[in-house]
Structure 1
């Protein structure tokens, strides 16, 4: 999940310390596409690596000598690494120049991925996944803010949308491709591919991404102040529970498909899910300025309908594909919706609200992996969609009731 750094941008002027290339981009009112696409690739590779085991659980379990519920915790421990360290590490490195921080994070990420690919020992794999999560969390905490600062004020929203497009691309192309590689060769090749892509990305960042200064000492507002801002708490609650609901099923999607006789179609099912997610993020990007509340309600309802179909009608392959399409349409734009809602509600404390969102997002992903493993052992994989339905009830209730602050009918955008 992507987040924001602890930096602030004044929309009407270029900061004196900004890099010359940034000033040039602002002056000419154009988007620096090579730089933004490099950031999108960083989002892509870190998002893909987080969820990559979801399509490889059976093969990874066999080679690591543990059960699928245990192997599913490789997703959990990645999220724990991000959740535990994103805020303190971001605070500790707030003064670092952004390019140096991003390259350091991605280099550490590449090393951890390499260890994952080479390891045949489950505890070592878990340690490597934790370190990868730490590095990814540090990168996620600065990418949205970095993209915003590279663009002129009137194009900052579009710049963030381009950078965040790495998430649905990872879902629509990356996870199915990784699953295909894992089946065609072995799962280790999928992780080696992530290392190769990371090395290429480091060169791209060095060549194409302008540097930006870090945060001035004393410029960051107190973190807890954001919780007292009306609307922030409802958005954070929805983030926590919505992501938890999604992760319970998504982490074990290969296992669920095995249980309904579609284990050989995991890569195709994930491709359908990701393609729908990709469509969703562009729909949300086009409509979010006027319809944030309606889109959030629709997202939860679409995921709910998908879960109901998977719970009741999963014996039909055609209906499983239809449900997965609805799931992707509901889920794909969720990161953009929730990040925008948190920023709008937070106002002057938007950066703190975004940092909390990143942490809770990964807490939910860790919790989803743990809860899914427990459910798999106690009730079987068919319990997953029922759990999603149960969790979506409070999500919808909070979105519907937070009509004044959090998810208002008319969005009031606040540039930060």
Structure 2
């Protein structure tokens, strides 16, 4: 039974749109903080006087913080009210991005990025469950799609705009601006977003039992292979464009990708409550198509642009699809299961930055679409074979 000071939140018959939009702003902040170094890679290389692969570790450090923090943070905070927890996570981003903006050396920037990643693990682990808890269960997929809209908006508008600002007035101002936006979101969250209780102790399962829930392991396998395919190319899009002589700037490429991702999240929101399996199979298949087009584009501007559109369409709804699948499979253990999903997701980001650096520095950027095709094929095979619990028909 809920305590008198924290009543249970009954899901309203109508979606709490403003609250979900603020959650979307949260995902916008998290994703923009995560991806910004990819667009600013040339400026970071020049500022810290390091190689592209070394500067790319700013992405890996963030992902490593998420990997190490997500499961412990969610395990510790399972019983906490969701609203103050959301505010704490956002305040952590203010600290991390402000430290990054002021970092005098790469080492300090890496530490700041690690801190940001740790708070990312907390937010990603609880955000999906929070959005579903304050919404009508019949529209849970749509509620999650709204809350995750910040992801493609960050990719289509935030990161390209931050890249453009960074190229004009310096990359440090971009991170400072994110801190300012985050402060505004914290205030609005405290005023607008309804609270929700954490999970009750009777419903909490230990980590190993959550991992053993039918479908969970298969979803995690798809998450890792699909997102690793994505992050190889996304983290090192600047050297790919440079080495293939496409004649396209990184901010332009990210804008094309992000606009297509917006369409992808719209399609996902419209279909996810009745066609989740089809969306996942289509998304992983389109990744293969995009990688093949990039592989054989030969530096052509039109074909490269087409590949970016296909890639964005496929990626736009991916996080929502995977989190919805995990929520459906794990039910009352959704927060812990999503923390596991977040950990694996960010292992893929870490691998994209770390292993991608080896590919770019030693084999050249052409190795990136090859890896994208191979890994996406594995993700497609896993999803197609997991028709009972993970991605049921």
Deviations along 1:143-201, whole A, 9 cap, x unmatched? 11211222233333322221111111111111111111111211111111111111111
Deviations along 1:345-398, whole A, 9 cap, x unmatched? 334544433221111111111111111001011101111101111212221221
Equivalent residue, structure 2, for 1:69: 53
Equivalent residue, structure 2, for 1:209: 193
1:281-320, aligned counterparts within 5 Å?
281-320=265-304
- What is the CA–CA distance in structure 2 between the aligned matches of 1:16 and 1:263, rounded to whole Å? 61
- What is the CA–CA distance in structure 1 between the aligned matches of 2:4 and 2:21, rounded to whole Å? 24
Equivalent residue, structure 1, for 2:24: 40
Secondary structure in 2 matching 1:361: helix
Q: Is the 8 A contact 2:325 2:391 kept in 1?
A: yes
Secondary structure in 1 matching 2:217: helix
Deviations along 1:219-266, whole A, 9 cap, x unmatched? 311221133233222111111111111101100111111112246522
**TM-score normalized by the length of structure 2:** 0.95
Q: Is the 8 A contact 1:55 1:267 kept in 2?
A: yes
Equivalent residue, structure 1, for 2:134: 150
Specify whether residues 59 and 49 from structure 1 end up closer, same or farther in structure 2 by C-alpha distance, changes over 3 A only.
same
Q: Is the 8 A contact 1:54 1:250 kept in 2?
A: yes
Equivalent residue, structure 1, for 2:343: 359
1:242-257, aligned counterparts within 5 Å?
242-257=226-241
Confirm whether residue 186 of structure 1 aligns to residue 163 of structure 2: no
- What is the CA–CA distance in structure 1 between the aligned matches of 2:248 and 2:180, rounded to whole Å? 27
**TM-score normalized by the length of structure 1:** 0.90
- What is the CA–CA distance in structure 1 between the aligned matches of 2:111 and 2:241, rounded to whole Å? 28
Equivalent residue, structure 1, for 2:356: 372
- What is the CA–CA distance in structure 1 between the aligned matches of 2:193 and 2:312, rounded to whole Å? 31
* Aligned-residue RMSD, C-alpha: 2.0
Q: Is the 8 A contact 2:142 2:272 kept in 1?
A: no
Measure how far apart 1:17 and its partner are: 5.8
Equivalent residue, structure 2, for 1:276: 260
Query: Structure 1 regions of 5+ residues with no counterpart?
Result: 1-13, 410-416
Give the length in aligned residue pairs. Answer: 393
- What is the CA–CA distance in structure 2 between the aligned matches of 1:32 and 1:348, rounded to whole Å? 21
Deviation larger for 291-300 or 111-120: 291-300
Confirm whether residue 326 of structure 1 aligns to residue 310 of structure 2: yes
Specify whether residues 290 and 398 from structure 1 end up closer, same or farther in structure 2 by C-alpha distance, changes over 3 A only.
same
Q: Is the 8 A contact 1:17 1:213 kept in 2?
A: no
